[in-house]
Amino acid sequence: MIQCAGMVFQRPETQITGTRFSVREEVACGPENLGLHRNAIIERVEDALERTKLTHLADRNPLTLSGGEKQRLALASILALRPSLLVLDEATSQLDPVGEQDVMDIVSELARQGTAVIIAATTPEGFSEQADKVAIMQDGELTMLDDTRNAFASNLLPDNGIARPICMELALKARAEGLWPEDLPLPLSMGEAAETLATIVREAGHAP
């Protein structure tokens, strides 16, 4: 059985039932309500706990978890439902950079496996490399739907008070100074920026 959609909210407290006494039981709540066989429930729960790195907390009371751990629990509870569409509404807001990257790695793997993912965010940092397309909303209206690189390079982001990824902002400033060729794509990550800069330097004859 496949659920159509699952959503992870910004505040994990809104998703934790408060009626289960362990993290494992909390994650099992959704599959149980689907009426799945016990073995299928166990398999889904253990898989979701492993994906979200919560296995070592499986016997803890959900209410005793930290904010970041609760957020990962909320994600695990949805992953156990195995939706074909996953919606993340600022779902990494309480995570540190390492935790945020862990979630993005999970999202990338789900996307590779065929799950459609929608991420609602007010800052592009953290998901710029994962997104295929970006939709920009203003006053409830869709003002742009384009591939990620074009959307982030657009002035619609700063015009709406949204900062571009730092790597792209620096590349745009370098382009304005003639240091970043017009024919080279703007970077979506620091790693991509570093690789492009290394190529520019080599072609300029300043490096072997």
Q: Are 89 and 8 in contact (CB under 8 A)?
A: yes
Q: Where are the beta strands (DSSP E) in 85-164?
A: 85-89, 116-120, 133-138, 141-147
Q: Phi and psi of 128, rounded to 5°?
A: -60, -35
Residue 116 pairs in a beta bridge with: 85
CB count in 10 Å sphere of residue 66: 10
Among the options 25, 32, 43, 90, which is catalytic?
A: 90
To the query of whether residue 90 is one of the catalytic residues in this protein, the response is yes
- How far apart CA 139 and CA 142 sit, in angstroms, is 9
Q: Are 68 and 99 in contact (CB under 8 A)?
A: yes
- How far apart CA 112 and CA 147 sit, in angstroms, is 18
State the DSSP H helix or E strand holding residue 76, giving kind and residue range, or none if neither. Answer: helix 67-79
3-state secondary structure of 195: helix
Name the residues annotated as catalytic: 90
